[in-house]
Amino acid sequence: MSPPQVHIVVGLSAVIVAVRGETPVVLTLSRPLEVPAAGEALGLAAVPSAVGADGWAEHPGAAERDAIPFGPLDPVGDRTLELGLRRWVREQTRLQPGYLEQLYTFADRERSRVGSARVISVAYLALTREEEVSGAGEPRWVPWYEYFPWEDWRGGRPSVLDRHIRPALEHWAAGGSDPAVSRTRHSRAAVAFGWGSAPWDPNRVLDRYELLYEAGLVTEAWDDQPNPQPPQAASATGRPMALDHRRILATAMERLRGKLSYRPVVFELLPVAFTLLRLQRVVEALAGDVLHKQNFRRLVVTGGLVEATGAVETNTGGRPAELFAFRREVLLERPAPGLGLPRRKFPAGQ
């Protein structure tokens, strides 16, 4: 049968996000499922196992890296990609995420090889309330800012930006093969990280990660290098993940941050009733920035996004807070109902 052929694996992967208190967490497997290697049948249930010779452990360190839930599409049984993904997630984590949205399809030859097969991985974003997870693969919830320390501005501008990232990126930019390349690199870095006149844009998570990758400042960038050079400052640029999973996570964060402002997605992460401060904290956690309390309340209440339930929560540490619930009718009233994020321009305060 025809020329020597490279096997294609259509994989489905899920970034499953929840919020624990004020921390966004992602579901990761420290012991991922083995993926069928070239020549094996596709779309049959994969068997959990230690990492084998031809599985994930292709490049150094991969075995110990966190991975997101992943499984191949069953071309016969799975009617749609989304159904296939739900199946996998259920099997691997016993979670039934309510909200599920396709993110992006990754297929770079060099960045997501598994064994010798070419991997096409379709990534999804799932939102859920935090729950106990269990199952093969040792699932656990990891705070997403462990992977992206520079994305959390709630405590002010993260120091790693100026202490490590900026000098390293500038060094990289300056080292461009010719002046034009250097200029492009500088400008890209400025836009992505908000240097010079450019402002920091909380979205653009992916731009930033990709820049760090290109500049060799994240561990993953060295995975497939012939001489696995030790990334010097890489320890400052967050915890690495398996394959290109950190890139997928960056995509998820970017999408979620963007969507916050025009779709009522936060409520997927909250219980039915919540105080306004809780809602605000969750939004802040995701956006990685601090908001103005009174204006947030105004936005959300007079904007018709929530409605009072009448009940109150008393253990607030101060005056009891009213409990609110998402107001579904808003979908019928406004074209793009979300939280336009009442930024806070200056230092701190209430």
Partner DNA sequence: CGGCCTTGTACTCAACATGAGCATAGCCAT
Partner DNA sequence: ATGGCTATGCTCATGTTGAGTACAAGGCCG
With CB under 5 to 8 Å by kind, the binding choice for 295 among DNA, a copy of itself, none is: DNA
What is the spatial distance between Cα 163 and Cα 54, in angstroms, rounded to a whole number? 39
* Locus of tokens 């100026």: 162
Contact with DNA (CB under 7 A) among 3, 80, 314, 335: 314
318 binds DNA (CB under 7 A): yes
45 binds a copy of itself (CB under 8 A): no
Task: Give pairs for 88-94: CB < 8 Å, separation 24+.
Answer: 88/12, 88/14, 89/14, 89/16, 89/126, 91/45, 91/135, 92/29, 92/33, 92/135, 92/136, 92/137, 92/139, 93/16, 93/27, 93/69, 93/133, 93/134, 93/135, 93/139, 94/133, 94/134, 94/135
With CB under 5 to 8 Å by kind, the binding choice for 292 among a copy of itself, DNA, none is: DNA
CA angle 300, 303, 304 (to 5 degrees): 90
φ/ψ bin of 288: left (φ > 0), alpha (ψ from -120 to 50), beta (otherwise): left
CB 111 within 8 A of CB 210: no
346 binds DNA (CB under 7 A): yes
350 binds a copy of itself (CB under 8 A): no
Question: Residue 297 Cβ, how far from DNA at the closest point, in Å?
Answer: 6
Contact with a copy of itself (CB under 8 A) among 37, 61, 87, 118: 118
Identify which of residues 197 and 314 has a Cβ nearer to DNA in the complex: 314
In Å, how far are 43, 305, 325 from 334, measured between CA atoms?
Answer: 42, 10, 18
Stretch that binds a copy of itself, among 14-22, 166-174, 185-193, 214-222 (CB under 8 A): 185-193
Contact with a copy of itself (CB under 8 A) among 177, 197, 227, 315: 197
Binding residues vs a copy of itself (CB under 8 A): 1-3, 5-8, 10, 39-44, 73, 75-76, 78-81, 102, 104-105, 107-110, 118, 120, 122, 187, 190-191, 196-199, 201, 203, 331-336
The residues binding DNA (CB under 7 A) are 275-277, 292-295, 297-299, 301, 312, 314, 316-322, 340, 342-346, 349-350
